[in-house]
Structure 1
Amino acid sequence: FILFSPRTSAYWEHLLKTIVMGQVLSVLICGTAVSCQYLVDAGVETPMLQSFLNYSLLLLVFTTNLSTRKGQNLLQILKTKWWKYLLMALADVEANYAVVKAYQFTTLTSIQLLDCFVIPVLMLLSWVFLKTRYRAGHFVAVMVCLFGVGAMIGADILAGRDQGSTSHVALGDGLVLLSAVLYAVSNVCQEYTVKNLSIIEFLGLMGLFGTLISGIQLHAVCHLCPVYVCTVQPHACCGEDDQCYCGQPVSTHL
């Protein structure tokens, strides 16, 4: 009777819905990771451009919705809380940039495993700012997570040493850990905003400031780092006089 009571049934329905949505989100994140690895393998290194497109879509959909909403609209929110969303967007933009940049230096497996470092950082921030309390089992899981992070970093360094280089692997792992810390900050702010304010407000302001920050950073990167492409001749190279040129800088910005 207790198991099939309306309250208990609603609880299990909510739990099942949460688990399913979490798994769908995991599949989407996995697809993003695989796509990033394919781009790096193909020689396409555009970490900031990828983030800029994501925030532009948020700007197009949710910021537009927020600006036309009656009551507390975009301008009223910006007057009082613009700096809070600016800091949240900065943390989220740099987290995305760091993790996508890491694909150029380390492996997909290492990135996905090291990304779990966000869990202990998130728990710490939630304990301090959201007053969330955890049980002993949660802390045991965090210790296992930290042990796995340390083992993964050690394995990457040893593998890089066997290949004659450890700097790039260590740099990639460091970018993933930095990204995990920034993601934890962004996720804590996101949880507080969504539960206490509005999901439309959060997505709209993140789209606005995320597009602004990533656009400025993208413009700066394009000026500091020239883009190199490989020019391909329309005919086959059939003699010594035919030459294929590669690595020529182009002036076109991303």
Structure 2
Amino acid sequence: MAAPQPSSRSESRRGGVLVKIREFDPKTVFSWQLLKTLAMGQGLAALICGTAVSSQFLASHFHVNTPMMQSFLIYSLLCVTYTTMLFCRTGDDNILEILKRRWWKYLLLGLVDVEANYTVVKAYQYTTLTSVQLLDCFVIPVLMVLSWWILKTRYRVVHYVAVCICLFGVGAMVGADLLAGRDQGSASNVLLGDGLVLLSASLYAVSNVSQEYTVKNLSRVEFLGMVGLFGTIISTAQMVVLEHYEISTIKWSWQVGLLLAAYTLSMYALYSFMPMMMKVSSATSVNLSLLTADLFSLFCGIFLFQYNFSGLYVISLIVILIGFIAFNVVPTPANPSDNSSTSSSTSISEDGCYDNPVATENAFTQMELSVKIPAEVKEEEDLKERKMSASRSCRSLGGNKSDGELTEQSTKL
């Protein structure tokens, strides 16, 4: 048989694409799970916007530049709530048992998380806002590499395309900032500032991958409780060494207290709800949704700080959301060597949580149909074959019997 010509192959491919387009059902893409994930991601972005606006008010109106003290307030609140929960638990989930088994891991994780928050704030003293916005996106490729290496997440082409779309949206946002004249910040040592941003992005990636692993395999309370405990210890020591003079010069007022409370509660809510989204999606998906946080801050700044509006901001928001949706539509299998994982195009963690459940429902429906229909057809064929074999055996055993008797006997068999 002659091999098909290249033209016939291309025509068959085009025909397959047309069939897929005709069979496309928007309900399978824009599912309730996707909408819920999108809403959770934008809620987290709104919380980051709250922290940015409150920090800017503290710095510009009240000259409060104490990132370590603000981090101390966050970790202390996490420690009071979630670490206390671990004290109240019994058995292997008690804080003493956790500290015996993996205290050094959480010590390193707390150090990484504290320094990630500190270095990105410190970078604003040496480089511009544009550099921070662009280089901060370095967290996404680092996250994808760490997820591939540690969590065994396998990405498809559509995921890389979706990430590029989101980064294009960030580029549009930075372009709008330049057109609006918002290239703020110091340029005293751009090389040092850019290096701090890249370091912060790498530390955030390590922290987020560790967070995703912990909440999917252990528990959210354990992660927040241990990070709150060690984060409080580390931030206290660092605050005393680095910011004792800045804290002593703060002119306290009810406005300063209110802004600090708003910042602390926003970050506390962010830390509390982010593991919930990571449990139903992934760290990469969460960080893609957080790209819109700067846009929310800009929209608030138009009313609060008289920023100039640009239509590119709206375009940037739409492009980032399109990339986020495209990333979450297709599931990310975590272990392609596992046949069950490959067949369902999704991975199941130890506590039964899927890496990307937005498309899991549709994948399982297709898998169920592909298994159920052949099974039913095979069952019917086996039943017919048993009846025919029974009829043949009856005829061979009772040749002098009538057809009615043979039929009755075969039916009994």
Q: TM-score range by the shorter chain?
A: 0.7 to 0.9
Q: What root-mean-square deviation, in Å, do the aligned CA atoms of Structure 1 and Structure 2 show?
A: 3.5
How far apart, CA to CA, are the structure 1 residues paired with 2:77 and 2:146? 29
Is 1:31 aligned to 2:44, yes or no? Answer: no
Instruction: State the shift of 1:201 in Å.
Output: 0.5
| Structure 2 residue identity aligned to 1:71 | G
SS of the equivalent of 2:215 reads: helix
Unpaired runs of 5+ residues, structure 1, are 232-254
Look up the match of 2:75. 55
Look up the match of 2:64. 44
Look up the match of 1:79. 100
Look up the match of 1:203. 224
The Cα offsets for residues 123-170 of structure 1, whole Å up to 9 and x where unpaired, read as: 010011111111123334556777899997xx99xx9xxx9x843344
Residues 20 and 227 of structure 1: is their aligned pair in 2 closer, same or farther, counting only changes over 3 Å? Answer: closer
Identity %: 64
Residues 140 and 57 of structure 1: is their aligned pair in 2 closer, same or farther, counting only changes over 3 Å? Answer: same
Residues 137 and 66 of structure 1: is their aligned pair in 2 closer, same or farther, counting only changes over 3 Å? Answer: same
SS of the equivalent of 1:214 reads: helix
The alignment's TM-score, normalised by the length of structure 2, stands at: 0.47
Which 10-residue stretch deviates more, 51-60 or 29-38? 29-38
Look up the match of 2:88. 68
1:47–1:97 contact (8 Å) kept in structure 2: yes
The alignment's TM-score, normalised by the length of structure 1, stands at: 0.73
What does residue range 1-254 of structure 1 map to in structure 2 within 5 Å? 12-42=31-61, 43-72=63-92, 73-108=94-129, 110-142=131-163, 166-222=187-243, 229=249
| Structure 1 residue identity aligned to 2:66 | T
Q: How many matched pairs?
A: 219
How far apart, CA to CA, are the structure 2 residues paired with 1:143 and 1:123? 13
How far apart, CA to CA, are the structure 1 residues paired with 2:131 and 2:43? 22
The Cα offsets for residues 5-56 of structure 1, whole Å up to 9 and x where unpaired, read as: 9xx69x9222221110100001111221232233332422101111111000
| Structure 2 residue identity aligned to 1:49 | M
1:52–1:210 contact (8 Å) kept in structure 2: yes
2:110–2:230 contact (8 Å) kept in structure 1: yes
Look up the match of 1:245. none
Residues 118 and 48 of structure 1: is their aligned pair in 2 closer, same or farther, counting only changes over 3 Å? Answer: same
How far apart, CA to CA, are the structure 1 residues paired with 2:164 and 2:36? 28
How far apart, CA to CA, are the structure 1 residues paired with 2:249 and 2:211? 39
Instruction: State the shift of 1:102 in Å.
Output: 2.6
How far apart, CA to CA, are the structure 2 residues paired with 1:31 and 1:93? 19
| Structure 1 residue identity aligned to 2:38 | I
| Structure 2 residue identity aligned to 1:139 | Y
